[in-house]
Amino acid sequence: MRRRDAASRERDYAVPQTPQGSDQSTQQTPRGPPLTSTEGMHQGYFTELTQSIMTKAAPLSTEQFSAKDVNRILMEFLMYLGRVFLLCYPIYLTGFVGLSISWILLSLLLWTMWKNNRKWKDVRLDSAVNFLENERLMVDKELKDLPAWIDFTDIEKAHWINKILQQAWPFFGMFMEKLLKDNIQTLVRTSSPHLKTFSFTKVHFGQRPPRITGVRVYTHEVDKREVVLDLNIVYDGDVDIDTEVKAGIVAGIKGLQLEGMLRVILEPLIGQAPLVGGVTMFFIRRPTLQINWTGITNLLDTSAFSFLSEPTIMDIIASLMVLPNRMCIPLVDQVKVDLMRFPLPRGVVRVRLLEAKDLMAKDTFMLGLVKGKSDPYAILRVGNSQFKSKTIKENLNPRWDETYEYVVHEAPGQELEIDLFDEDTDKDDNLGCFQLDLGEVKREKQMDEWFELKKAKTGMVRLQLQWLSLQTDPGLLVETPQGSACAMLAVYLDNASNLPRDQSEFSHHEKHGKHSKEAKLTRRRNNPNSYVEFSMDEQTQKSKVAYASKDPVWEEGFTFFVHSVSNQVLNVQVKEPENKCPLGVMTLPLARLLNTSDLTLDHRFQLERSGSNSIIKMKATLRILKLEKAEPKPVATPQPETQPQPPAPQNQQRGPSAHAQPQAPQSGPAAPETGPSNGLYAEYPRQRLYDGPQTAPSTPSNMRRFDSHSMLSENSIASSRMDLSEGLPYPEAILNHTGSFGEIQLTVRYATLRNKLIVLVNSCRNLFPCSENGSDSYVRIYLLPDQRWNHRMRTPVKKRTVNPVFNEKFEFSVSLEEAKSRKLDVAVKNNRMFYVRERKEIGTVLIDLSGLDLAKGSTEWYELTLPGLKTTD
């Protein structure tokens, strides 16, 4: 029975007879002695298996696999056998020597412990590297878990200033006591007949000085002849001031809280002692003020009368030290005080309020059970200038499309503040707010973005912002019929002289036998109270009141938007505050300024309908508004993905001259043929500049090229082959390549707090494949002109890919000004192991940091080129 089964199995596994004409090398059975039934069974099985494998593999080896692929598969198979041998040999050796199995178990235990320890070390190392690369994200994540009273400001602490204030505060109190009693007391008495007996009975500024919680010094975006500081001031003083208005009527202040940001400008910087021409101080925004009253003024602490006191005092502070008003202290005689107190604004910002979306629904019905919509409107504010938009009824995605214009005196510093409200019959509900530093608009020139609302669960607002610079060229004047301003008029009101005492000095204004009570009081005074009113079409502005003076001094500045220079006129009226009667008038046609030097008129003007010698002194300056265009940015939009090119036929002829520059698309303009001076190296192109949306990769003609004679070009080429031997050729595959060599994505920014230039090597795409499996690529970086080996930055190698992802960060310790004068030399190289007599570059790029906004940072794609290819005619 067993013999029959063996015979049947032998028949099943027998090799079938091959037909005539078949390959005898593969079909011939081996010769030898006769086999037993069992041996024949196994021999037949393996013979059939080998034959089927060879039969299936034969077409693949001839059609799909090359000789290199077969060699690679054999090498991998041999490596696999080697690893199996290394694992099994210790077990065999243990049995051969006669050791116990416990040695094997001990070895496995030690190997497992080492493996787990190695894994734990790798996890800790990866966590440390991840924290280093994503430090900002990790810190921001941890900050959310900190208490609310912990605050990290982006300004520097200045404890030494607080120590100086603590030491000098008693002497400041002595100075203020003298100032209040000698000057302020006199001004209060002359301001009203009811305050002729006003006096300060006690002045004491306490022992607690103001505290400077932070200092920020601006060294960029400011003139080189000035120093700008921002001081965060917090004052919680134990002030004790008592006044006597009349006999028995006592008022006073006991306690004062003030908080705000004070800007201090030291300008101009001069080359002689005391090195600073003057000091200017002002609050960029209105500070917050809280006063504790005593005496009869205690009533002002109640909710019914509180609004009468503190806003009035804030108006006094604003008229002295809130933009556009400034407190100026000249230190040398050559400084012009009018330019210090009212310099020309930095520019004009045009804000177009377009729309909002996803606003909160504040209107509810049926005791809040049914959600309704909102009636949104917006309030836009820059400094003291404020506008209110129209109200859109029952709409959570309103569209306004309204344009407003603001004069900007300080940028950076001043902010655009936007508050959205839901209009109701009783109290308007807040829908969110937003603040934007106008220094950012000045840098960007033009912005069109969605901004997320703060203090709101949902909601965004879309704004279009444009920066307009102030120019003196009348040829730039373009009057637009859409209602936008074409120019700005700045008026500096200095003083007046020989004003009439009252209207009774004009025969045409006299009213015989009838005079009001105010007129009688005016006649009894020796000198008039006066202020100046400026008007131009619908724009009207007033100066402060100068009391009891025929020669009043105002020293104030005003700005007006001009829509038609040829037709508009500035009307000036000097008036009495009591009865609003004019003490003199004059008109100034704006077209007169076009014929003056620097579009400025600084004169003493004769007043009409006034005294024969009544004169007003003021300065009028006209500036043309020019819309600034956004500066071009390098490769602002990523290039479209390009399909890999098929390999060229072997019989196609290519000359080496075709590879000095990447070939341009046929639809684009032809790149000019420009050869380098030495005939060996092609010119080194810079990254592309943004000039609109791109649908195809930019051609080399769109790139700015560095002169081959320049030292920078020579340095960049030298740095690109610093680690190469002279005269080494490129691989044959690179010489025969006509397409692009790929692109690299870099993020370049400057960390101001750490004073470091940070370069993030993100990834590459469509790199030139140096082998059938791609390239073993890495990135090398130099910060030119420093080419020392120890300052060379290099990423790890990414193997067998043409789209490597690096995500590596490098830091250079340079100042921001120095970084803007440097250039990055970036090279993508192939990590070769055996072919050492060929150059390694896949592509290079030279990045001019002066064209990037390092403070904001940029992430761009840069095209790789090869500067060292030989050219032929």
What's the mean per-residue pLDDT of the chain? 75
The mean-pLDDT minimum among 75-89, 267-281, 458-472, 777-791 falls in: 777-791
HSE (side-chain half, CA atoms, 13 Å) at 794: 14
Question: Phi and psi for 507 in degrees, rounded to 5?
Answer: -65, -30
- Mean pLDDT computed over 102-107: 84
Residues 278 and 167 in one domain: yes
Sequence-ordered list of residues with C-beta below 8 angstroms from that of 381, at least 6 positions apart, any chain: 387, 416, 417, 418, 419
- Sequence-distant (6+) residues with CB within 8 A of 167 are none
Q: Where are the beta strands (DSSP E) in 423-525?
A: 429-437, 446-452, 460-471, 487-497
- Are residues 499 and 445 located together in one domain of the fold? no
Tell me, what's the pLDDT at 10?
47
Average pLDDT over residues 212-233: 85
- How many beta carbons lie within 10 A of that of residue 812, not counting itself? 19
Which residues face 242 on adjacent strands?
202, 252
The one-letter amino acid at 458: T
- Per-residue confidence (pLDDT) for residue 690, from 0 to 100: 33
Please tell me the distance from the alpha carbon of residue 856 to that of residue 854, in angstroms, as a whole number.
5
Instruction: Say how far apart CA 821 and CA 747 lie, in whole Å.
Output: 18
User: Do 335 and 368 belong together in one domain?
Assistant: no
Q: At 269, which amino acid appears?
A: L
d(CA 781, CA 794): 6
Q: Are 750 and 819 in contact (CB under 8 A)?
A: yes
- Among residues 264, 413, 233, 414, the alpha carbon closest in space to that of 328 is found at 264
582, 566 contact by CB (below 8 A): no
CB contact at 8 A, 270 and 263: no
Least confident of 77-81, 231-235, 568-572, 712-716: 712-716
Beta carbons within 10 angstroms of residue 734's beta carbon: 20
Beta carbons of 326 and 281 less than 8 angstroms apart? yes
Q: Domain check: are 324 and 440 in the same one?
A: no
Name residue, tokens 């750490």: 754
Which among 435, 417, 419 is positioned nearest to 381, based on CA atoms?
A: 417
Cβ distance 329 to 349 under 8 Å? Answer: no
Residue 165 C-beta-side C-alpha neighbours within 13 Å: 18
Q: How does residue 149 score in pLDDT terms, banded at 50, 70 and 90?
A: low
pLDDT for 643-690, tens place per residue?
444 444 333 333 333 333 333 333 333 333 333 333 323 333 333 333
CB count in 10 Å sphere of residue 181: 14
What band does 558 get if pLDDT is binned at 50, 70 and 90? very high
In terms of domains, do 599 and 661 share one?
A: no
pLDDT at 441: 92
Could you tell me if 626 and 471 are in contact, meaning their C-beta atoms sit under 8 angstroms apart? Answer: yes
Question: 48 or 534: which carries more pLDDT confidence?
Answer: 534
Q: CA nearest 869: which of 767, 720, 735?
A: 735
Distance of CA 701 to the CA centre of its chain: 30
Closest C-alpha among 689, 688, 677 to residue 714: 677
Range from 163-172, 190-199, 495-504 carrying the lowest mean pLDDT: 190-199
Per-residue pLDDT reduced to its tens digit, 620-644: 999 999 998 876 544 433 444 444 4
User: Residue 27: what pLDDT?
Assistant: 42
430 vs 703, which has greater pLDDT? Answer: 430
Compute the distance between CA of residue 697 and CA of residue 280 in angstroms, rounded to an integer.
52
0.75 cut: is pTM over it?
no
Longest dimension (CA), the chain: 157
- The pLDDT of residue 33 is 46
Asked whether residue 129 is domain-assigned, the answer is no
Burial (CB < 10 A; 0-12, 13-18, 19+), residue 763, is middle
Establish if 49 belongs to a structural domain.
Answer: no
The rounded distance, in Å, linking the Cα atoms of 397 and 357 is 4
What angle (nearest 5°) sits at the alpha carbon of residue 180, between those of residues 174 and 186? 145
Q: How confident is the model at residue 63 (pLDDT cuts 50, 70, 90)?
A: very low
How many residues are recorded in the chain?
Answer: 873
| 300 and 383 inside one domain | no
113 part of a folded domain: no
Cα–Cα distances (Å) from 55 to 14, 27, 48, 50, 607, in that order, read 17, 11, 10, 8, 114
Percent of the chain with pLDDT over 90: 21
Of 46-55, 313-322, 777-786, 797-806, the one with minimum mean pLDDT is 46-55
Q: Is the peptide bond before 398 cis (omega within 30 degrees of 0)?
A: no
**Does pLDDT of 216 surpass 50?**
yes
519 in a structural domain: no
Half-sphere exposure of 327 toward its Cβ, with a 13 Å CA cutoff? 14
* 612 belongs to a structural domain: yes
**Which distant-in-sequence residues (6+ apart) come within 8 Å of 89 by Cβ?**
none
The kind and range of the H/E element at 50 are helix 37-63
- What would the two tokens of residue 445 be? 């020139």
The 10s digit of each residue's pLDDT in 561-597 is: 999 998 999 999 999 888 788 889 999 999 999 989 8
Is 636 a domain residue? Answer: no
Instruction: Note whether 251 and 301 are same-domain residues.
Output: yes
Q: What's the pLDDT score for residue 146?
A: 64
- Among the ranges given (360-369, 497-506, 815-824), the one the predictor scored with the smallest mean pLDDT: 360-369
Domain shared by 467 and 491, yes or no = no
> What letter would DSSP give residue 137?
H
Interatomic CA distance for residues 561 and 623, integer angstroms: 10
**With 60 as the cut, is the pLDDT of residue 35 above it?**
no
Pair 671, 805 in one domain: yes
DSSP SS3 for 647 = coil
**C-alpha pair distances (Å), 281 with each of 229, 231, 321:** 10, 10, 7
pLDDT at position 48 is 52
User: 95-104, 125-134, 681-690: which has the highest mean pLDDT?
Assistant: 95-104
DSSP line for 226-256: -EEEEEEEEEEEEEEEEEEEETTEEEEEEEE
- Cα angle: 395, vertex 387, 311; to 5 degrees: 120
Q: Has residue 408 got a pLDDT over 90?
A: yes
Count how many domains the chain has.
5
Measuring CA to CA, how many Å separate 504 from each of 513, 608, 612? 12, 16, 15
Q: What is the pLDDT of residues 808-853, one digit of tens each?
A: 888 888 888 888 888 888 988 887 644 444 557 788 898 888 888 8
Per DSSP (E only), the strands in 112-153 are: none
* Segment among 36-40, 128-132, 765-769 with least mean pLDDT: 36-40
300: pLDDT strictly greater than 80:
no
Radius of gyration of the chain (CA): 42
Residues 196 and 86 in one domain: no
Candidates 644, 643, 663; CA nearest to 655 is 663
Does position 508 have pLDDT exceeding 80, yes or no? no
- Residue 283, C-beta contacts closer than 8 angstroms, at least 6 positions apart: 260, 261, 262, 263, 317, 318, 321, 322, 323
CATH code, domain carrying 432 = 2.60.40.150
pLDDT band at 470 (very low <50, low <70, confident <90, very high): very high
Q: Residues 198, 333: one domain?
A: yes
Q: What does the pLDDT look like over 701-754, one tens digit per residue?
A: 333 333 333 333 333 333 333 343 334 455 566 666 667 788 899 989 888 777
Share of the chain above pLDDT 70, in %: 70
Question: Does residue 868 form part of some domain?
Answer: no
Asked if residue 384 and residue 332 are part of one domain, the reply reads no
Could you tell me if residue 599 is inside a domain? yes
| 827 and 841 Cβ atoms separated by less than 8 Å | yes
Interatomic CA distance for residues 582 and 611, integer angstroms: 12
E strands in 205-337: 211-218, 227-246, 249-266, 278-283, 288-295, 327-330
Give residue 396's domain range.
362-406+413-471
Q: Which of 698, 635, 708 is nearest to 669 (CA)?
A: 698
Check residue 809 and give its pLDDT.
87
